[in-house]
Structure 1
């Protein structure tokens, strides 16, 4: 069977730079509102601001919106901008003449614009569509004020991915604890494999490793608080994360800083690397012709009091503009986008991600997607990846540079943490 190819993924370092501009943390001259929705809207038409600019996702979201028009009888106009341009201009866009509904992300990025008063509270709408989602997804859609501002559409989990055929050949078993993970990696090296494929030249992949180690070592609440700048980066809890990380480093692929994540993932595909911590959407691109051979497991338990109750699964979705000209039509569109019908229509283009709705008929899912569903459904808490869960300036500069320094000189962790702490104090004091 010929599988649809996965949608292209924007490089996260590019996305971080874009969000810096969007949040006013980096100056970008000449920004202009990219929407035209409010000026021309009426009660019979809804406007939709979209960052689904690449050919495959653009066609997929258009098919979804065609379904809405047929169901609702409303007209709809789509205002599509290049993915990066959309993120660069979104701050001005939302303050100018935004479309009624716009594409965005859960986590910090959603909370940022909700706190600035640039999104409409849809808590009452959640009263109608909330049973489509898990408690963890609701948590990820909630602003700092406890109200909901976001409708989840699809997600993709981060975990340790591997080739089934490679593991079967060597007789490897899924580790349940961190010690077992270390032992497995050591065995892989003895078998002549790279234990942990790693590519960090893109700048962002190892941010995901920090997330896993932190919420496994210290739990979800501490992770959330740390990402909000409320914890001490030089404290014992953060130091424990890096001490655990140092135990993993002997398993890493050499020269991670000089390798792209795509190259690292190719080693897993080829059977020369045993596993890789990455997102299903990313590594799924590399396994597009062998998706049935791709499997994964949760990052193992470090502290039994936290277990594996938190997973990383970035959620893409939609928000309702505070300046929406057609609030009622926008709410109807959001309600439609929450349905299994809409989400499955979109996912025909992407066999590596999963619909956010818990009511989706999984009969059309491949094996990887079915496992992803259970992985996310059973999570008590869902994180969004570090660059979506904290201040973009902190993620793009302090954390990326700090982690790269740690990978180069792991024995100088005190200096690394001091540098991160100093920048955190400056950034979060604003």
Structure 2
């Protein structure tokens, strides 16, 4: 996954990047010559990876090429670097967007559906190999589907197998095991958790998992939707628990990127790291030595069967000129053939959403990821996808960072979050 995976919208501060579709994210290529679908049609395909940026670009380019070879539909690729794509998405969709574009499941998708910026693709479902959980992730608040998934990745607690074996450690199965493991790590001069939040988004994953473990999945999703109170006892418990765990984390996380934190685990200074599977991107030769476990149960009444597993995929832009051909393409993008075409072309495969896709190129870590996600009772999309993008970027990033600097100010911080939630979420 791209290192800039979770860049969030910065609105007018970056308005010069794409205004009325004429900036860096404007659709490129020809206009399709008026063809709507079938032989000779053109579909404009906007992707959030710049040309030559690595395996993510290679996969998407290969998928586009495979679709052209299969259908004789020309795919006009508009490749834009990840940050620019994220930061310019609103003006892009309101201008002259590509027909099909890469995007995310969850609130980030539903928000565009409610605004009329993406097309209802319910008539393309069901899609062979995509089960009910993926269909639900593609469904907006009106009960219709606006998204087709292609891949996902779980967040979990990663560690180096060799370090655990050397020290006689095992993945914890309970809260007591978890606490004993961290105490033993500290006793041996190893910081239990690598931690870096200079980028703003990584610590959201810690909040998510603590909230799901302490208050349950339904409360977590209600909180993200603005239906629960940020200054209530439940959220305060999350921050109090987090405060008790901070001594087991690297100090001064705001001065450290997620890649630097990953390096600390890779070189053995830290024992574990809560992050997505893209952690392997920062570890190079240590990647084959990685394993993970899901965050353990913290409350006896709440099973440890919920996790963040963000889903990536595609939407059809409502302002795209070739709706029929775009719908045909987006259905194929959810197929096993599309996933296989991407994974066969790239050094680093993604975990395909389609159950019929080949796993021959998967690492052991990816095979385990697929098993863990398949066994999970509840899947969240990550805070900056499950809630309003402005709320995530302008409220939660600075609030969590303020907590990390001043963990004793929980009442003040949660009151401030709730006041701003009232304004943004209603």
User: How does the TM-score come out when normalised to structure 1?
Assistant: 0.90
**Structure 1 segments (4+ residues) deviating >4 Å:** 36-39
Contact 1:137 1:382 in 2 (8 A): no
Over residues 11-70 of structure 1, what are the superposed CA-to-partner deviations in whole Å (9 max), with x where a residue is unaligned? Answer: 63xx21xx242xx7x672562311257954522222212222141233331211111111
**Structure 1 position 407, deviation (Å):** 1.6
Over residues 217-248 of structure 1, what are the superposed CA-to-partner deviations in whole Å (9 max), with x where a residue is unaligned? Answer: 11222111111112111111111211221221
1 CA distance for matches of 2:82 and 2:253?
Answer: 28
Aligned-residue CA RMSD (Å): 2.0
CA change 1:352–1:79 in 2 (3 A) is closer
Counterpart check, 1:85 vs 2:88: no
Aligned to 2:341: 345
Q: Secondary structure at the match of 1:132?
A: coil
Over residues 249-272 of structure 1, what are the superposed CA-to-partner deviations in whole Å (9 max), with x where a residue is unaligned? Answer: 121112222222211111211122
Over residues 283-340 of structure 1, what are the superposed CA-to-partner deviations in whole Å (9 max), with x where a residue is unaligned? Answer: 1012222322011111111234431222111111100122333333212211221122
CA change 1:179–1:420 in 2 (3 A) is farther
Counterpart check, 1:378 vs 2:379: no
Contact 2:158 2:290 in 1 (8 A): yes
**Structure 1 position 401, deviation (Å):** 1.6
Counterpart check, 1:102 vs 2:101: yes
2 CA distance for matches of 1:352 and 1:230?
Answer: 38
Contact 1:114 1:149 in 2 (8 A): yes
Counterpart check, 1:164 vs 2:155: no
Aligned to 1:121: 120
User: How does the TM-score come out when normalised to structure 2?
Assistant: 0.91
**Structure 1 position 194, deviation (Å):** 0.6
Contact 1:136 1:379 in 2 (8 A): no
Count of equivalent residues = 413
1 CA distance for matches of 2:220 and 2:245?
Answer: 20
2 CA distance for matches of 1:335 and 1:114?
Answer: 18
Aligned to 2:27: 35
1 CA distance for matches of 2:294 and 2:131?
Answer: 19
Select 1:135's aligned residue among 125, 132, 136.
Answer: 132
**Structure 1 position 275, deviation (Å):** 0.2
**Structure 1 position 167, deviation (Å):** 0.3
Q: Secondary structure at the match of 2:197?
A: coil
Ranges in structure 2 where 5+ consecutive residues have no aligned partner: none
Ranges in structure 1 where 5+ consecutive residues have no aligned partner: 1-6
